[in-house]
Amino acid sequence: MTDRKSKNHVYCKVIDAIQGTRSKLLIEILKRFLTIDDCEVILALRYEPEPLEKVAERLREDPKTARKRLEKAISKGVCYFISTAQDVLYRRQPLFAIVETLFVDGRDRQLGDDFRAILAKYWNEEFIHKYYDVEKPRYRIIPVEKSIPFATLVIPYQYAADILRRAKRIVLLRCTCRSWFQRCDNPVETCMLLDDAAEYYQARGSYIKELTVKESLEILHRTEELGLIHATDNVAEDAKFLCSCCPCCCVVLRGLIAYGKRKAVAKSLYVARVDESKCTGCGECVKRCYFGAAALHGGKRRVDAEKCFGCGACAWVCKNNAIALVPVRESMRGPSSA
């Protein structure tokens, strides 16, 4: 095998490992910021968090040298760590998280306009079409708290606000998708990382600031007013992030809305229901629904329950409180976000 061929072979293995899609463009992208040394570390990591010794064994290095390589991998955003009471555990990062760190760190600017252009080309023309053809939805829409009529009907982790109230640590990041695609005027200082994900970004030094719960709830409220859709990782507990997404920039929502990738986002456990006696037919809620689930018929709001993702954006905007979210499914929990 020629040197170039064997290098490409390593990058192909990395693409599989980080859940990318096999592509010449992606090989070119990775080569711009990942060395073969970085690739070896990625391939030695697993999605299951592991102690240093395990990774060192796969790298065939002594623990001290392996730790140095892992620290470099953390600074490049390809390795994630979790500090436990006894140990530090390391795991591999998937492609989306790797790209996110490029934007959060500002390394995308250092890599230049040409790099940003090929990354966007890959994302729009290849990744978004293939990545979401997966069995388990990767994100879950969270209904906004105001829309939930009875607290007892709600499984607690679905509440965006409750997720924030439960978090032990919250840090604010720039929204990668809006910084990247710049298709709207929505604010970019809206992404919130929680607990060990917050610690990870703090250790890397690339975050805007640590938030109090009150500050985080204010951001949640502001983004809700703007009609942004809240999403978190598709895990049973211990959410790692709380996103407030727009349908024009968000790589996840765009997968669903623009390209019909139904598995890009998991529906919340709810569906909107309208009390026609309160509905004046003003149509405000129809403008807020990005999922094509809202329409007016005979001067009254109707819900297409099949299309409804239970995000609650329509209920928030209805001044007559004519819309409630009602639970329609028990759970679509995923075992892990890895």
Interaction with ligand SF4 in 248-307: which residues (CB under 6 A)? 249-252, 272, 274, 279-285, 288-289, 291, 293-294, 301, 303
Judged by CB under 6 A, which stretch of 7-15, 38-46, 66-74, 313-321 contacts ligand SF4?
313-321
Judged by CB under 6 A, which stretch of 35-43, 68-76, 200-208, 309-317 contacts ligand SF4?
309-317
Judged by CB under 6 A, which stretch of 22-30, 39-47, 149-157, 320-328 contacts ligand SF4?
320-328
Smallest gap, in angstroms, from Cβ of residue 270 to ligand SF4?
A: 7
Three-state SS sequence of the chain: CCHHHHHHHHHHHHHHHCCCCCCHHHHHHHHHHCCHHHHHHHHHCCCCCEEHHHHHHHHCCCHHHHHHHHHHHHHCCCEEEEECCCCEEEEECCHHHHHHHHHHHCHHHHHCHHHHHHHHHHHHHHHHHHCCCCCCCCEEECCCHHHCCCHHHCCHHHCHHHHHHHCCCEEEECCHHHHHHCCCCCCCCCEEEEHHHHHHHHHHCCCCEEECHHHHHHHHHHHHHCCCEEEEECCCCCCCEEEEECCCCCHHHHHHHCCCCHHHEECCCEEEEECCCCCCCCCHHHHHCCCCCEEEECCEEEECCCCCCCCCHHHHHCCCCCEEEEECCCCCCCCCCC
Residue 70 amino acid letter: L
309 binds ligand SF4 (CB under 6 A): yes
Q: Please state, in angstroms and rounded to a whole number, the distance separating the CA atoms of residues 15 and 39.
A: 10
Interaction with ligand SF4 in 230-249: which residues (CB under 6 A)? 243-245, 249
Smallest gap, in angstroms, from Cβ of residue 116 to ligand SF4?
A: 15
Give whichever of 2 and 260 is closer to ligand SF4, judged by the CB atom. 260
Give whichever of 157 and 309 is closer to ligand SF4, judged by the CB atom. 309
Q: Site for ligand SF4 (CB under 6 A): which residue of 45, 322, 324, 337?
A: 322
Closest CA to 76 of 97, 101, 53: 101
How many residues contact ligand SF4, by CB under 6 A?
39
Q: What separation, in Å, do the N-terminal and C-terminal C-alpha atoms of the chain show?
A: 33
Neighbours of 40 (CB within 10 A): 18
Task: Give the x-and-dash track for 123-162 against ligand SF4 (CB under 6 A).
Answer: ----------------------------------------
70 binds ligand SF4 (CB under 6 A): no
308 binds ligand SF4 (CB under 6 A): yes
Smallest gap, in angstroms, from Cβ of residue 65 to ligand SF4?
A: 35
Give whichever of 44 and 211 is closer to ligand SF4, judged by the CB atom. 211
Q: Site for ligand SF4 (CB under 6 A): which residue of 15, 154, 311, 324?
A: 311
Task: Give the x-and-dash track for 171-200 against ligand SF4 (CB under 6 A).
Answer: ----xxxx------------x---------
Binding site for ligand SF4 (CB under 6 A): 175-178, 191, 243-245, 249-252, 272, 274, 279-285, 288-289, 291, 293-294, 301, 303, 308-314, 318, 320, 322-323
